[in-house]
Amino acid sequence: MTVLILTSEEDVTADMVVLRLGEAGVPVVRLDPADLTNGVALSGEYVRGACRGHLSVGGRLVSMNGLRSVWVRRPGDPAARAAHPSAWLTEESSQALYGMLRCTDARWMNHPDAARRARHKPWQLRLAQRSGLAVPATLITTFPQAAREFAERFPDLVVKPVSGAHPQEPPRAVPTSRVAPDADFTAVAFGPTLLQRRIAKRADIRLTVVGEALLAARKPADPDAHPDDVDVRFAPSVSPWLPAEVPPRVAEGVLRYMAGAELAYGAFDFAEGADGIWWFLECNQSGQFGFVEMDTGQPIAATIAQWLAEEGDAGRGCADGDRSTAS
């Protein structure tokens, strides 16, 4: 049974996992969907109620029914590097490749549907609430009046994008910023705005979840930091990430979240408040982990390799029961 990794060629994080799988003697096929029709080929046959699919990469043929797991890391757009790329070819190739992979019984990290759903911030906040995690008071709105009233109830706010990175090429991270006490909310009418109670944090937490394994890292806040420096990605670093214990109640909530989201991998960001509470900020289903592993020495790549290599529950293939008819 083979592990299929969908990612680009220059992905050193994937390299770390491939290395572990190699050490464990687990067969791996690494493939960039961008190379479809140009080094990568596929075929699927539906005859007399049965289905047989194959992938070929660099001349190596793999049966889709023999896939143990699929790791959707950083795949390129299907057929983007074909001899004559086009939107039509990409669409045809995407439907063919992912349509066939969806029919296998492989386990997914993460399944495309779960990954897509997991990106929705409003949905994240609601699932976090329902999972028992502490969520800072949040408003997402296009009503200036709702924003004004929220700022009266919660005077110390930050503003951040609803959707994550700005879709320019390459994508640009939009920093979380503090809202000035006398802010004018008129412009809220021109686009959804996410306002959130600022957590006066004593540390940032990155909790990486792989299956049921929780690997937490903590970075103490700079005691001299200005309260306007709210975004750890843009603040000067005074400490590396250090391994941390996960409070049992948070561990429970996070596993409940992962089950509700049907995710096998998630990178949670929390702000640790002055009261010690871990406040849920977001869960990135494709969050990087290389920098955490480097700082903390936590075996995240090895844990991912282990999950991919396991013979676990079948994934989300087609409906059960084979009631074949003639063809």
Residues 6 to 65 in contact with a second copy, rule: CB under 8 A: 36-37, 41-51, 53, 56
Site for a second copy (CB under 8 A): which residue of 170, 236, 276, 324?
324
Instruction: Kindly state the smallest distance separating residue 284's Cβ from a second copy, in Å.
Output: 14
DSSP 160-227: E-SSSSB-SSS-BPPPPEEPPTT---GGGGGS-EEEEEPP-EEEEEEEEEETTEEEEEEEEPPTT--T
Size of the site for a second copy (CB under 8 A): 87
> In this structure, what is the dihedral angle of CA atoms 138, 143, 144, 145, given to the nearest 10 degrees?
-90
Closer residue to a second copy, CB minimum distance, 190 or 248: 190
CA dihedral 156, 159, 164, 170 (to 10 degrees): -120
- Compute the distance between CA of residue 132 and CA of residue 248 in angstroms, rounded to an integer: 12
Among 19, 146, 235, 251, binds a second copy (CB under 8 A): 146
Taking residues 170 to 189 in sequence order and writing x for each that binds a second copy by CB under 8 A, - otherwise, the string is: -------------------x
As beta bridge partners, residue 282 has 269
* Closest distance to a second copy from the beta carbon of 313 (Å): 18
Least distance from a second copy to the Cβ atom of residue 246, Å: 16
Scan residues 73-102 and list those touching a second copy (CB under 8 A): 79, 82-84, 87-89, 91-96, 98-100, 102
Q: What share of the chain is helix, strand, coil (3-state, %, to 5)?
A: 30, 30, 40
Nearest Cα residue to 71 out of 4, 155, 170: 4
Nearer to a second copy, 197 or 295 (CB): 197
Q: How far is the CB of 45 from a second copy (least distance, A)?
A: 5
Out of 25, 226, 297, 323, the residue judged to bind a second copy by CB under 8 A? 323
Degrees to nearest 5, angle at CA 151 with 146 and 157: 125
- Could you tell me which stretch among 162-170, 211-219, 221-229, 240-248 binds a second copy (CB under 8 A)? 162-170
Residue from 25, 167, 181, 223 that binds a second copy (CB under 8 A)?
Answer: 167
Residue 154: both structure tokens together: 């919660």
For a second copy, which is the closer residue by CB, 128 or 305?
128
Q: Interaction with a second copy in 213-242: which residues (CB under 8 A)?
A: none
289: CB partners within 8 A, 6+ apart = 13, 208, 267, 300, 301
Cβ atoms within 10 A of the Cβ of 68, count? 20
Interface region with a second copy, contact rule CB under 8 A, candidates 69-77, 123-131, 210-218, 234-242: 123-131
Interface with a second copy in residues 254-293 (CB under 8 A): 256-257, 259-260
The verdict on 103 binding a second copy (CB under 8 A) reads yes
